[in-house]
Structure 1
Amino acid sequence: MPTSTIDDKDAAAIQAARVGVAICDRTAWGRIKVAGDDRLNFLHNQSTNNFQILKPGQGCDTVFVTSTARTIDLATAYVREDAVILLVSPNRRQYLMEWLDKYIFYADKVELSDITEYTNTFSLIGPGSDAVLEKLGIGELIGQPYGNHQVYTIAPAEGVRIAVGSGLAAPGYTFTFPYTDKSSVWNKLLEAGAVEMSDRAWDALRILQGRPAPDAELTDDYNPLEVGLWQTISFTKGCYIGQETIARLNTYKGVKQHLLGIRLSAPVEVGSAIAVGDEKVGKLTSYTETADGYFGLGYIRTKAGGVGLKVKVGETEGEVIEIPFVSHEYP
């Protein structure tokens, strides 16, 4: 876990996401509704980003971490008038429902519900996404900040909430709407020029771009600064679960390893050691094979070096490359 090997159709979808527009069905992802008067304060205290500055119609990425700042999941939050909807990884949906519920105390006005079964989520990915919205006559979101969202009708479907952001390091939009309208919305987006992208192609693209996944890059072994999720962390908002550890790592420049991309010369096994010479400097966490060759993600010790570093992954030669989804620059 996770490994991807793609076919020609997947390769065409990845290319569309790079130069045109692809569409991926992300309905398997979890959607958790957080309601009640204290919802923003609650999420502010349970994750890394600043919810108290968000208004209805805005959104952000945030990381749920343990008390020692180990990563649980990277989620996207959409603030509505009456609730916040969290888009979470498929294999973290039940865990986060139980984990969040544990922190709701008697006086808290917070209500959790899992709305995954009643809703769909699609993502448009690629520079051609704006043109799809224009064809549908719903171009008001074009140019708005990441996470901003509005509700539209894509006849016959009503109540289609469209948000800025593809979920990857590529321009795009994410659609959430009632489950009954799945085929009509999907077909409208295909008719507007989007190329269908499978889950396998999504996983390959997220590896190429460096989006971390639970059980691979997001585990009890790593914190958000090692992952490179600076954009999800507020260093000024005050106390939250895991805040002390993250603040200390930032203050004392204590990040000892970084998530990086690796271009490989041959197939490798996930979990293989990454070495420079005879010295082990890290571990491979994800791997994919694409039309452009072999790629992996892995954590490498900060002192070993960064982009351009020549490494061995198992017995395979590799070179460390930049991945656009994460950053390792101190703010």
Structure 2
Amino acid sequence: MNSLTACFTHPSSNFFPWLPSLCSRSSLPQNGAFCLQKHATPMNKPFFSSNFICSKLHPVQASSFDLSPPPIDHDFLETAKTAGAEVSDEGIIETFHNDDEALDAVDNGAVVVDLSHFGRIRVSGEDRIQFLHNQSTANFECLQPGQGCDTVFVTPTARTIDIAHAWVMKNAVTLVVSPVTCRIITEMLNKYIFFADEVEMQDITKQTSFFVLVGPNSNRVMEKLNLGDVVGKPYGTHQHFSVDGLPVTIGVGNIISEGGFSLLMSPGAAPSVWKAILSQGTIPMGSTAWEKLRVIHGRPAPGMELTNEFNVLEANLWNSISLNKGCYKGQETISRLITYNGLKQRLWGIHLSAAAEPGSIITIDGKKVGKLTSYTSGRKQSEHFGLGYIKRNAASEGDNVVVQDSINGIVVEVPFLAMQRPLSERSN
């Protein structure tokens, strides 16, 4: 690729109050690497760079950042189209016509996916931590700025609405949710803000871009981009940077795995960040392949596995649930299910012998034991994968089931659900 006119710097607070006043372009890197700057103090200290020299950072107010859409000549979708992407009328990158290659790179390399169509909600105000603590399943009160977690929004009876990936920042909490639930969750949370609560809700989806990096080579990609500071940190840990003065937040893990990374940024920074990641041999992935990956890895989705029909424990979302915090929405039902061992079914992966329709009945010896909720084909024509709820004690990993009367299936543990740690497996 051509020289990347981008300079990554380390801001020192939530919305990057320290911006570079000038980056020298006299010796731009030819390998696409970012200029990562570190500083012991926020002002009046020189920075170092292995690629080119940048000047000092100067303080500005956090509110001065403009997260409005970028000029047309910085439009990321145009950048993707130039690279061969097929983009829907809704602005979603559907495919780069490399779906099989991208799926293979998830296991053997690294892929980058534009998930900017997913919802982003910014929760601010003095009471934001306590508010989210009371309205979702995770323990927000134990988190510090720079940390993160997964949390689940549920109904009062613990039926699932969506999983949110949360970053606790200095002045706000950023939530990443499904495209189909962003409005629902925002409206639901607004209803629970009482008059005296200092909580503000803002949908920042259209004012930001969001990428995820997945695959075993993700750490190497970050290190080559001089972003090794975030490598090896706990899931949800995030740090703030800037590219050409535009904010970028990079977090450990993503919405499908505890490995890899997530990148939240100003849309103006998106083309530079995307090109730099691709320059390290990363494969681009579209939403069609991403949906296949979601099913193969077992990540539940709203309207499929996350509905009013199933509760959060049946969806096996143990990592998102605090078992020792105070009262919160759905807590009474969750506690009762745990106390009385009341789970009736569980979400499983299923290897299928043929294509099957979501909603199909799952049987064993002619008896109904569950329902298929998602289906996808694999990289080969002979590969078929599904997700489905199966009655407790009716089947376990390795057992045979029948789907849709005649399609054979084998119950399997899938990566996203396998990393969940039930109560019996947790230490004190």
1:308-323 equivalences in 2 (<5 Å): 308-314=398-404, 315-323=406-414
1:175-324 equivalences in 2 (<5 Å): 175-292=263-380, 293-314=383-404, 315-324=406-415
Percentage of identical aligned residues = 48
Deviation at 1:166, TM superposition (A): 2.3
Change (3 A) 1:259 1:328: farther
CA contact (8 A) 1:125 1:170 kept: no
Separation in 2, partners of 1:124, 1:158:
20
CA contact (8 A) 1:156 1:184 kept: no
3-state SS of paired residue (1:297): strand
Residues 1:124 and 2:124 aligned together: no
Residues 1:82 and 2:171 aligned together: yes
Of 113, 123, 126, the match for 2:202? 113
Change (3 A) 1:284 1:180: same
CA contact (8 A) 2:319 2:421 kept: no
CA contact (8 A) 1:17 1:170 kept: no
Residues 1:32 and 2:100 aligned together: no
Separation in 2, partners of 1:234, 1:95:
23
Separation in 2, partners of 1:223, 1:75:
16
Deviation at 1:98, TM superposition (A): 0.3
Deviation at 1:167, TM superposition (A): 1.6
Q: How many residues in Structure 1 have an aligned counterpart in Structure 2?
A: 326
Change (3 A) 1:157 1:193: farther
Code of the aligned partner of 1:305? A
Structure possessing the higher relative contact order (Cα contacts under 8 Å, 6 or more residues apart): 1
3-state SS of paired residue (1:303): coil
CA contact (8 A) 1:6 1:290 kept: no
Q: Structure 1: which 4+ aligned runs deviate by more than 6 Å?
A: 5-8
Separation in 2, partners of 1:228, 1:6:
30
Change (3 A) 1:170 1:60: closer
Change (3 A) 1:8 1:281: farther
3-state SS of paired residue (2:134): helix
CA contact (8 A) 1:32 1:116 kept: yes
Q: Deviations over 1:66-117 (max 9, x none)?
A: 0000000000110110000000100001101100000000000000011111
Of 139, 145, 148, the match for 2:237? 148
Moved more, 29-38 or 183-192: 183-192
Separation in 1, partners of 2:361, 2:351:
15
TM-score (norm 1): 0.96
1:85-104 equivalences in 2 (<5 Å): 85-104=174-193
Deviation at 1:330, TM superposition (A): 3.6
Separation in 1, partners of 2:134, 2:422:
25
Change (3 A) 1:32 1:41: same
CA contact (8 A) 1:157 1:185 kept: no
CA contact (8 A) 1:127 1:170 kept: no
Q: Which runs of 5+ in 2 are unaligned?
A: 1-93
Structure richer in strand, relative to its length: 1
Code of the aligned partner of 1:52? E
TM-score (norm 2): 0.74
Change (3 A) 1:123 1:242: same
Change (3 A) 1:276 1:157: farther
Q: Which structure: larger Rg?
A: 2
CA contact (8 A) 1:258 1:328 kept: no
Change (3 A) 1:267 1:19: same
Q: Deviations over 1:210-256 (max 9, x none)?
A: 10000000000111110111000001001000000001111111111
Name the counterpart of 1:59. Answer: 148
Deviation at 1:329, TM superposition (A): 4.0
3-state SS of paired residue (1:86): strand
Change (3 A) 1:270 1:238: same
Residues 1:16 and 2:111 aligned together: no
CA contact (8 A) 1:135 1:192 kept: yes
